[in-house]
């Protein structure tokens, strides 16, 4: 059973699936570390106590951790 050249492209078109929809990623960079309100800029994350300004600490839910030196500061549990 040989296929005619016209039938082959039709089968390929049917086999193609639609690409899954990708989720839009959040903005990265300076927008993740600062909040601008009117004329004031405020930091959203704390700065590392050992490394100084320029080294922000990562938020891990119950603690803040510096990726540069490994310093960890635990959050105060509110009752």
Q: Is residue 19, in this structure, part of any structural domain at all?
A: no
What letter does residue 62 receive in the DSSP assignment? Answer: S
User: Does residue 1 sit within a domain?
Assistant: no
Angle among Cα 5, 7, 11 to the nearest 5 degrees reads 125
CB 48 within 8 A of CB 55: yes
- Whether residue 74 is contained in a domain is answered as yes
Domain annotation covers residue 14: no
Tens place of pLDDT per residue across the chain (79 aa): 565 655 556 556 566 778 888 888 877 787 878 888 989 999 999 999 999 998 999 999 899 999 999 999 999 887 7
Q: Is residue 55 part of a domain?
A: yes
Q: How far apart are CA 54 and CA 67, in angstroms?
A: 12
Instruction: Tell me how far the alpha carbon of residue 18 is from its chain's centroid.
Output: 25
In-domain check, residue 50: yes
Domain count, the chain: 1
Contact 32, 44 (CB under 8 A): yes
Q: And the tokens for 55?
A: 């080294």
**What's the domain range around 71?**
45-79
Q: Does the pTM exceed 0.85?
A: no
């Amino acid at each position: 059973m040989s296929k005619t050249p016209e039938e082959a492209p039709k089968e390929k078109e049917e086999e193609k699936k639609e690409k899954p929809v990708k989720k839009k990623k959040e903005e990265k960079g300076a927008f993740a570390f600062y909040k601008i309100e009117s004329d004031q800029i405020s930091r959203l994350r704390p700065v590392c106590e050992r490394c100084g300004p320029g080294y922000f600490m990562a938020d891990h839910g119950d603690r803040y951790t510096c990726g540069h030196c490994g310093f960890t500061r635990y959050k105060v549990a509110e009752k």
